[in-house]
Amino acid sequence: MGFGQAIKTVFGKYATFSGRAARPEYWWWILFLVLGSIVFNIIDAVAGLRFGDSAWVVNGQEIAMTSSGVGILSSIFWLATVIPSVAVTFRRLHDVGRSGWWWLLNILCCIGSIIVFIFSLQPSMAGDNQYGPEPEH
């Protein structure tokens, strides 16, 4: 499965939390998220599409601008991809024989995310498992 096919598959299963997702589908999706975030953050910064930015003003003159605000386009991108991201992670966990609810470990700051990351690196279970047939690679 290539980059385009993986993105099409994940968006096609937008809110499908059942079934399985092979490693290529999951990792191409992660690459898409990283690239999309970078692109939209750059566009937001260049076009001034951030809200929540603050400036340091001394004697009526702006001396520094902090870019701690949230970008409008990057926020829209996040909203469009958050549900399919959780869904593909559920399916990836199913593919390695784990319940999708392991995803909730991400709430536990760093250690939970590391555990989910390690699970996502594991190879797919060969053949059918309790979550469905083996996905195409």
Query: pLDDT per residue over 105-115, tens digit each?
Result: 988 888 999 99
Neighbours of 128 (CB within 10 A): 10
> Cβ distance 31 to 94 under 8 Å?
no
Band of pLDDT at residue 37, cut at 50, 70 and 90: very high
Helices 72-95 and 23-47 cross at an angle (nearest 10°) of: 170
Q: Alpha-carbon distance 36 to 117, whole Å?
A: 20
- Output the pLDDT for position 49: 81
Q: Alpha-carbon distance 48 to 32, whole Å?
A: 24
- Output the pLDDT for position 48: 79
Q: Provide the token pair at 52.
A: 């929540």
Band of pLDDT at residue 61, cut at 50, 70 and 90: low
Q: Alpha-carbon distance 53 to 103, whole Å?
A: 32
Of residues 128, 124, 102, the one with CA closest to residue 115: 102
Task: Determine what percent of the chain is predicted with pLDDT higher than 70.
Answer: 87
Q: Is residue 4 over pLDDT 90?
A: yes
Question: Mean pLDDT in the chain?
Answer: 89
Of residues 87, 96, 129, 88, the one with CA closest to residue 115: 96
